[in-house]
Amino acid sequence: MFTQPIKLINQTLNKKFNKPFNQIFTLFTHLSTHLSTEKAPKQSVYQIGNPILRQIAQPIADTSDREIQQLIDAMLVTLKESRGVGLAAPQIGKSLQLLIVASHPNQRYPHAPQMEPTAMINPQIISHSEETEKGWEGCLSVPMIRGLVPRYREIEVAYTDRYGDRQVAKLTDFVARIFQHEYDHLEGKVFLDRVESSLDLVSEDEYHKLLQVSKVS
Ligand code: NI
């Protein structure tokens, strides 16, 4: 019953854009994703003390579920408006194994590398370097505080993307740090649990003073 209309659309699109239908379809999927992202409302971010941040997040069974796709859109909007570089679903009240890594240079992280915001579903750390490195972290759920946190410098990760495909990626330095920070949220941990000493904690204002010093020296 549906064969004929789809064929017709297919032919029309192929003629119009001079491209195979599947490419057009991909384009439309990306366009609709983009449009729905614009429409999704910004969510409030849960702060430390809320029990949901201490729960173990549940795996996601169906990535194509409309609610999951809407949750990803809401997280992308929330992240963009909060100028964050990463966000985990429990931070907006959903205890699900979903995180977004979105490294880009900005006021909060001026030295961050640029990348396309990436939603990672049911993420795993497959392997990691022996080497760890301390670096500054903040968290939208822990306002006004920065901490020096040791993380693996290099990790290999697996995750399902928002289109349902399983991906494997090697992440290094700041991007690896973001992933580990967000992954911790799925295990009910925050960066404060990882600092080696309370002397490694500073206020946001003091952190920006430190940045000024490191620019000069
Ligand atoms: Ni965080």
Residue 110 has a pLDDT of 74
Other C-beta atoms lying within 10 Å of the C-beta of residue 207: 17
Lowest-pLDDT range of 83-87, 156-160, 183-187, 207-211: 207-211
Average pLDDT of span 105-132: 90
State in Å: Cα 59 to ligand 1 middle: 19
- Better pLDDT: 98 or 7: 98
Tell me which residue of 205, 182, 194, 195 sits closest to 45, measured CA to CA: 182
Residue 171 has a pLDDT of 96
CATH fold, domain 50-216, is Peptide Deformylase (3.90.45)
Residues designated catalytic: 182
- Better pLDDT: 78 or 26: 78
Contacts of residue 66, defined as CB under 8 A and 6 or more positions apart, other chains included, come to none
CA distance 144 to 168: 34
Residue 211 has a pLDDT of 80
State in Å: Cα 8 to ligand 1 middle: 49
SS3 content of the chain, % helix, strand, coil (to 5): 40, 25, 30
Work out the mean pLDDT of the chain and round it to a whole number: 84
State in Å: Cα 71 to ligand 1 middle: 17
- Phi–psi pair at 79, nearest 5 degrees: -65, -45
State in Å: Cα 27 to ligand 1 middle: 32
Contacts of residue 208, defined as CB under 8 A and 6 or more positions apart, other chains included, come to none
State in Å: Cα 50 to ligand 1 middle: 13
Whether the Cβ atoms of residue 120 and residue 100 lie closer than 8 Å to each other? yes
Q: In this model, does residue 209 exceed pLDDT 80?
A: yes
Tell me which residue of 201, 183, 172, 195 sits closest to 100, measured CA to CA: 183
Question: pLDDT of 150-202, one tens digit each?
Answer: 999 999 999 999 999 999 999 999 999 999 999 999 999 999 999 999 999 99
CA distance 5 to 96: 39
Distance of CA 115 to CAs 12, 30, 105, 203, Å? 35, 17, 10, 28
Region of residue 18 (left: phi > 0; alpha: psi -120 to 50; beta: else): left
Every domain of the chain and the residues it spans: 1-26, 50-216
Whether the Cβ atoms of residue 146 and residue 207 lie closer than 8 Å to each other? yes
